[in-house]
A and B are shown apart, each in its own frame.
Chain A
Amino acid sequence: MPTHTTFVDDHDIVRQVIAGDINAFGFLMQKYQGHILTVVGNHIPHNQAEEVAHDVFVKAYQSLLTFKFKGGFKQWLSAIAVRTCYDFWRKEYRSRETPMSSCSEEEQNFVERALAKQSIQATSQENSQKEASELLDRALDKLSPEDRMVLELVYLEGLSGKEAAGLLGWSVANVKIRLFRSRKKLRKILTGFLED
C-alpha cells in the first residue's frame, strides 16, 4: 500500500519532469521498473515483454501532462501498462492469419499429450507448471483481446471488478458482463481441448 509520502515524492519528481528535467524520469523508471515488468510479464509472452515495457515507459512520459496529482503515480502507471498490453493483443489479433477457431497440429499434439495423463490431478502435480502454463496460453490465445484482459485481471490475478475497470478504463458493469461471458468461453475451449 503506497504511503502519502510515496505519493508526494513521486508527485515532486513528476513536477520536475514536467518542468523540463527529463533525467528525473529515470528515478521513476528505476523505482517502478520491477512492477511494470511483473504486470507486462503477466499478460505478454516473455520474449516480447521488454519491447512492451519499453512502450509503457515511453507512453507514460508522453502522457505525463495528463497525470492528475490526486492519485498515486504507481496506479496511473499500472493503468498505462495494462492498456498497452491490451493494445498489444488487439494488434496481434488483427494480424493473425489463421482463423481463431482452427486448431493447429501443434495444439492437437499438446492435447494428445494432455489426454495421455490419467487425470487432471496427475497433470497438475507432475512437471505440470509448464504444461498448465502452455495449456492456458493456448486457451487464452483463442479469446478476443477484451475477454483475455478481463479474464487475466479478475479471474487469474484476483483483482476486483472495480480495480480491473479502473485499469482498463471500462465501466464495472462492462467488466462483470465480459468476465461472465469469457469464463464460459474459456471453459468451452478447455473442455474442447480435453474432450475432443
Chain B
Amino acid sequence: MTGNTGNTGNTGNTGNTGNTGNTGNTGNLGGVGWFIADRVDLPFVTRLAPDGQSELGSLRRTPPAHFGDRLWSANWYAWRVLHQFVAKVPNWATTLDGDARLTDIRNDLVADYDGQIDNLVLAARDERPDAMGLILSQDGEFFSDFLAVLTIRPGTHPQTWRVLNIASLIGSFAALYFKDKYDLPRPTQICPALLPPIPVPGHSSWPSGHSTQAHLMKNCMLRIFAKAAMPAADQDVWSADLNVLADEIARNREIAGLHYPADSAGGARIADLLDTVILTPGAVKMFDDAVTAAAGEWQ
C-alpha cells in the first residue's frame, strides 16, 4: 500500500459557502455545462460559405460596442450588481450591524450555546434520517428548490432567474461579512458528536449563509410579484410557499448539525434588512432594473 495519491483535493465543491448554484443543472443559461463537437477533418471554421467564395473563418460581423447585458449569464451578471451594490450602499454593513434585533440574536446565541445545541441533538436524533435527502441536495445549491416551487425554468423566466442569482450572491456576500467579523464557532466545535453527514464548511457559523440567501431570494421573489401587480390572494399563496421553503432550507442545515437555530434566525434577519432597509427602490439601479424586468415575466 503506497497510499492514495490520486486524490489531490476536493476543489470542486464550492457549495459549502452557500448557494453557489449548479448551473449545469439549471438550464442552458449558465454558460457552462455542455460541449460543442466539431469535425477533426473539416473544422467548422474551414467550411465554405454557400456561394463557395469564402471560408466561414474569413467572414466578419461589425464589432458590437459591448458584450451586452443580455449575454451575461445570470450568475455572472449578479457579480456586476454586487459591485454596484457595494459602490452605491457603502454603509450597508454598518447599518445592518446596528440593528438591535440582529445583535440580540447573536448575543443570545453566545450566551447559551448549550440551549441551541440541545435543539440540534434532538434534530440529529429524530429528524436527520428523514431530512437527509434535502440536506444532501441543498448542500450544493437550492436554486432548484425555488425553481420547482415557482414552476419555472431559467429558459422560461430568464429575468427571474437573474434576480434569484443576484439575491443569492448578495446574500452570500452579506453573510460572509458577518461570519468574518464575529467568527463564531460551529456547533461541532462544541458538540463533536453532532457528526454532520457532510463536511463542515470552512468558515464560521453565524449567520447561516443558506438562511441569508434563501430568505433574500424569497424576499426578492415577493418583491417581483408585488411589482407585477399580482392579485393579493396569489401573492399570499407565494408568500406562504416561499416562506416555508426558505425556513426549511435553513432548518435543514441545523438538522445536519452545521448551524445553530440562531444562525438561521440571523440570516433571515439580515435578508429582511437587506430587503427593507438597504435595497430600497433607487438605491441600486441594476437591482431595480432586474426586478422590473423579472416582474414583466409574471404579468
A and B interact: no
Report which A residues bind B (CB closer than 8 A). Answer: none
